[in-house]
């Protein structure tokens, strides 16, 4: 009997197949079904057959759906698939300590714990009991580990499902839809609807079936192409990102790198650099918009292998956290002078689409005079704070600049925007 222990971490190339708006629309579309599935009484969960009958009921007969009102017509199989997916992802926990995996869906249902194969077994059983065609797919998914490059050397390490909906096969991964394991190997439940009925051209970025026909692509991609692809995650698609400059996961460069990614106007990007699974200090990366999208700059302190990790956040979305969107694995042929670090960018720098003109990593030394120039759209005033002194930068439209004496201590650039009574921090430079 096979065992799969897939370590997944969804912190919440692609081209933006799924937009943020589409993701929101999908959530609204299934809100009633989700409410119904999550309200399954204990009396319905004693067996696969009773649970399947309960979950499929709204799809079969909306008029008797126990208070749930559906906007679609009777018989929409997507409602049944969604109900099964939602119940499993909410009630089955990933069991990283499992020593053996039962192939009996009744055992998985009773234990409420499983590894990926158990999730797939239960989904197939519930779908089959509802009269749907479903299959278990075995293949490879990358083992996403925070701060580490994915070596992709452990093939046939995962299982998921295909299900036929309205005469067309579609893809489902209940395991990855249920949550992730944290850094200590503990399961954290985090519903991720990205892995339900995912478009095949998106699903193949992190799922390569052993049997190519289950890619549901014509023609299917090769294993070599799969390995070369950038390691993207659900937030990449949910935020509508698109790769511009680098479409392969592995990059060779000298001591620095610039990667361009297109993003909608309401999406912000930041980046971090990792080496040996450890996040490096601030100053190794810098992100700003230009005419072609976001440009993510990175400097490498030494020769060697790094992971450039990019995070995304939509303005107006619940919470203010950035979600892990993609990784590049970078081999630097040489190292950069550690004194040449990037400035620290505050949130206002990104939200106001500011841009540094000229050198991004100028070395500031106390006693020198430094030349600053940046674009700050709609700013009323921009000033520089250094050593207790404030200097207003000269304005030409939305460009602000000037030569300013540098005092000991950090240099901070701030801006005042219309309707605001205070200045917001944009950048902070270290001073030698």
- Regarding whether 155 and 281 lie in a shared domain, the answer is no
Beta bridge partners of 138: 159
Which of 227, 254, 281 is the last residue before a domain boundary? Answer: 227
Residue 27: the pLDDT is: 57
CB atoms within 10 A of CB 211: 11
d(CA 71, CA 126): 24
Beta bridge partners of 391: 384
Cα 336 to chain center, whole Å?
Answer: 29
Residue 99: the pLDDT is: 55
* pLDDT one-digit tens code per residue, 181-225: 776 778 889 999 999 999 999 999 999 999 999 999 999 999 999
- Regarding whether 122 and 44 lie in a shared domain, the answer is yes
| Residues 33/86, Cβ–Cβ less than 8 Å | yes
Phi, psi of 277 (to 5 degrees): 70, 10
- Regarding whether 302 and 247 lie in a shared domain, the answer is yes
Residue 237 lies in a domain: no
Residue 144: the pLDDT is: 57
The CATH number that applies at residue 252 is 2.60.40.10
Q: How many domains does the chain have?
A: 3
What is the total residue count of the chain?
A: 432
Residue 2 lies in a domain: no
- Regarding whether 262 and 164 lie in a shared domain, the answer is no
- Regarding whether 398 and 281 lie in a shared domain, the answer is no
- Helix runs in 130-197, H state only: 174-178
- Regarding whether 287 and 217 lie in a shared domain, the answer is no
- Regarding whether 405 and 357 lie in a shared domain, the answer is yes
Residue 120: the pLDDT is: 96
The CATH number that applies at residue 139 is 3.10.620
Reduce the DSSP state of residue 122 to 3 states and report it.
helix
- Regarding whether 157 and 64 lie in a shared domain, the answer is yes
Residue 1 lies in a domain: no
Which of 201, 227, 253 is the last residue before a domain boundary? Answer: 227
Residue 30: the pLDDT is: 85
- Regarding whether 38 and 170 lie in a shared domain, the answer is yes
Cα 199 to chain center, whole Å?
Answer: 16
First to last CA, the chain: 61
Residue 102: the pLDDT is: 65
- Regarding whether 86 and 59 lie in a shared domain, the answer is yes
Residue 141 lies in a domain: yes
Residue 163: the pLDDT is: 98
For 74, the domain range is: 20-227
Residue 181: the pLDDT is: 77
pTM of the complete model = 0.82
Residue 232 lies in a domain: no
d(CA 266, CA 375): 19
- Helix runs in 324-395, H state only: 347-351
Closest CA to 272 of 323, 208, 227: 323
Beta bridge partners of 160: 137
Residue 106 lies in a domain: yes
| Residues 180/188, Cβ–Cβ less than 8 Å | yes
Which of 227, 262, 285 is the last residue before a domain boundary? Answer: 227
- Regarding whether 262 and 198 lie in a shared domain, the answer is no
Residue 14 lies in a domain: no
Run means of pLDDT, 10 residues per run, the chain, 432 residues? 30 37 59 93 96 92 56 68 97 77 86 93 97 96 57 74 96 94 80 95 95 97 93 92 94 94 94 92 89 90 94 84 93 80 92 88 84 94 93 95 92 95 94 84
Reduce the DSSP state of residue 274 to 3 states and report it.
strand
- Helix runs in 30-91, H state only: 31-38, 48-60, 77-91
Closest CA to 123 of 156, 171, 158: 171
Residue 136 lies in a domain: yes
Closest CA to 209 of 247, 167, 171: 171
- Regarding whether 70 and 209 lie in a shared domain, the answer is yes
d(CA 20, CA 25): 9
């Amino acid at each position: 009997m096979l065992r799969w222990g897939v370590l997944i971490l969804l912190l919440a190339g692609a081209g933006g197949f799924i937009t943020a708006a589409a993701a929101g629309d999908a959530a609204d579309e299934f809100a009633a079904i989700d409410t119904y599935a999550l309200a399954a009484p204990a009396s319905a969960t004693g067996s696969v057959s009773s649970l399947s009958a309960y979950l499929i009921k709204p799809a079969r007969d909306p008029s008797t759906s126990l208070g749930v009102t559906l906007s679609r017509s009777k018989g929409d199989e997507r409602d049944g698939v969604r109900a099964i997916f939602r119940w499993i992802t909410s009630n089955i926990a990933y069991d990283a300590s499992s020593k053996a995996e039962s192939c009996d869906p009744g055992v998985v249902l009773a234990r409420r714990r499983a590894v990926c194969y158990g999730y797939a077994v239960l989904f197939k059983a519930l779908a089959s009991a509802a009269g749907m065609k479903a299959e278990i797919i075995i293949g490879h998914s990358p083992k996403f580990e925070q701060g580490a490059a994915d070596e992709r050397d452990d093939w046939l390490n995962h299982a998921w499902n295909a299900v036929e909906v309205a005469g067309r096969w579609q893809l489902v991964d209940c395991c990855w839809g249920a949550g992730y394991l944290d850094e200590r190997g503990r399961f954290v439940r985090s519903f991720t609807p990205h892995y339900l009925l995912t478009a095949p051209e998106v699903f193949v970025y992190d799922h390569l079936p052993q049997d190519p026909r289950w890619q549901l692509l014509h023609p299917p991609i090769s294993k070599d192409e799969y390995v070369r692809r950038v390691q993207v995650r659900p937030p990449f698609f949910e935020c509508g990102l698109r790769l511009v400059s680098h479409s392969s996961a592995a990059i060779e460069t000298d001591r620095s790198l610039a990667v361009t990614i297109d993003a909608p106007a309401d999406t912000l990007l930041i980046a971090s650099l990792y080496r040996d699974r450890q996040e490096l200090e601030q100053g190794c990366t810098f992100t700003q918009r230009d005419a072609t999208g976001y440009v993510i700059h990175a400097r490498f302190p030494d020769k060697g292998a790094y992971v450039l990790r990019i995070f995304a956040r939509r303005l107006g979305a619940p919470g203010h956290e950035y979600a892990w969107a993609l990784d590049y694995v970078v081999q630097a042929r040489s190292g950069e002078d550690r004194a040449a670090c990037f400035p620290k960018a505050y949130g206002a720098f990104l939200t106001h689409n500011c841009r540094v003109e000229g050198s991004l990593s100028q070395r500031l030394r106390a006693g020198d005079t430094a030349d600053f120039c940046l674009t700050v759209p709609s700013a009323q005033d921009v000033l520089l704070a250094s050593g207790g002194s404030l200097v207003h930068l000269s304005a030409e439209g939305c460009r602000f600049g000037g030569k300013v004496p540098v005092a000991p201590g950090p240099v901070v650039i701030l801006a005042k925007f219309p309707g605001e009574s205070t200045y917001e921090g944009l950048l902070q430079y270290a001073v030698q």
